[in-house]
Structure 1
């Protein structure tokens, strides 16, 4: 299944450059965590301060609640998330307890 999520970055060119640099090679523990929980592909795209994450998952293994519980119990994932939050900012539509917020697909060419 494909998921698209949005998040903003703080409007600071130096922070944005550092965020992009950290994503050239993420920590191996983070990549392992994603793969263990059924994430089969992930891309992050940016325009200005808006980020869009495109995430492909294996429906048989991906459970966002289980993944969130595992992330909360993993000190390395928590360290990464705390570091990322120094660069990130919620979108105007993000609930207070979330970071990435799911987007709604409004068009698919294959349906035309």
Structure 2
């Protein structure tokens, strides 16, 4: 199992709509997330900075292939067309990343 933490900004005018969308995520999007090996997925909002922090656990065997499968899913693409314009990627993220990946510095079970 691989733990993943990510961060991205959120546009001030999008806070309410972003929360509304995530209060009732489309079932097909949730099925794709699950099919791609993602479990225990949470997104948190830090105000007043308007930073979204996401955490999930990946239980699959090929993270890149599963991420590509998710990106190829038409319903997920439609979902991202709604949510991505609300987000503000941070400077310094890895090339090709939308959300900046955070390195794990501590974990205890």
Is the 2:36–2:70 contact (alpha carbons within 8 Å) kept by the matching residues of 1? no
Computing the radius of gyration over CA atoms, which structure comes out larger, 1 or 2?
A: 1
Deviations 1:46-99 (A, max 9, x none): 1121111010121xx253311232133221111111111121110122245321
| Residue 51 (structure 1) aligns with | 52
| Residue 17 (structure 1) aligns with | 16
| Residue 41 (structure 1) aligns with | 40
TM-score by length of 1: 0.82
CA distance in 1, matches of 2:61, 2:27: 19
CA distance in 2, matches of 1:76, 1:33: 9
CA RMSD of aligned residues (A): 1.9
Change (3 A) 1:3 1:18: same
